[in-house]
Amino acid sequence: MKLNQLPECPTGRIAAKRKGQGIGSGNGKTAGKGTKGQTARSGGYHKVGFEGGQMPLQRRLPKRGFRSPFKEYYALVQIEDLDIFEAGSEIALADLQAKGLVGRLKDGVKLLGDGEINKALTIHVDKVSRAAQEKVEAAGGKVVLSGASA
């Protein structure tokens, strides 16, 4: 079935109510707005969050915390996760994403030293911890820093 073959929905085209069109329409004179007051006026209603003069919720609650706009968030990869790669292989960001080790990329990838590694691998990452670098080099591998953080 194509879009032009869909049957018309019987409630799809409901005519708009014609306000202020005389007494017989049921919405004449005041056009369903009642008489006088703020809500009867054009453009007359309160702002979002206005609580009738009571201190609004967003001002009653305390302010908490701070989030720096300059903080960098790295996708973290542990040494033990690299065991799925073959010895001697070169591992880039695309390889890490293909194996599911890195999900949504943030400001880069950081290699951490949790676990052990026994294979000589060449790993391209943006940051590396000292322990991770020592373990990779002890196994005969190499860590290449790439990206803006290098």
- At 104, which CATH number? 3.100.10.10
pLDDT of 80 higher than 50: yes
Any domain includes 12: no
pLDDT of 84 higher than 60: yes
| Segment among 7-21, 66-80, 95-109, 128-142 with least mean pLDDT | 7-21
Any domain includes 43: no
- For the chain, percent of residues with pLDDT exceeding 70: 97
Any domain includes 51: no
* Mean pLDDT, residues 32-44: 88
Mean model confidence pLDDT for the chain: 90
What is the chain written as a DSSP string?
--GGGSPPPTTS-PPPP-TTS-GGGSS-TTTTS-SSSGGGSTT--PPTT-BTTBPPHHHHSPP-----TT----EEEEGGGGGGSPTT-EE-HHHHHHTTS--S--S-EEEE--S---S--EEEESEE-HHHHHHHHHTT-EEEE-STT-
- Residue 136's pLDDT is what? 95
Indicate the pTM of the whole model: 0.57
Any domain includes 113: yes
Which residue segment(s) compose the domain that 135 sits in? 75-145
Any domain includes 58: no
Domain count of the fold of the chain? 1
What is 42-53 written as a DSSP string?
TT--PPTT-BTT
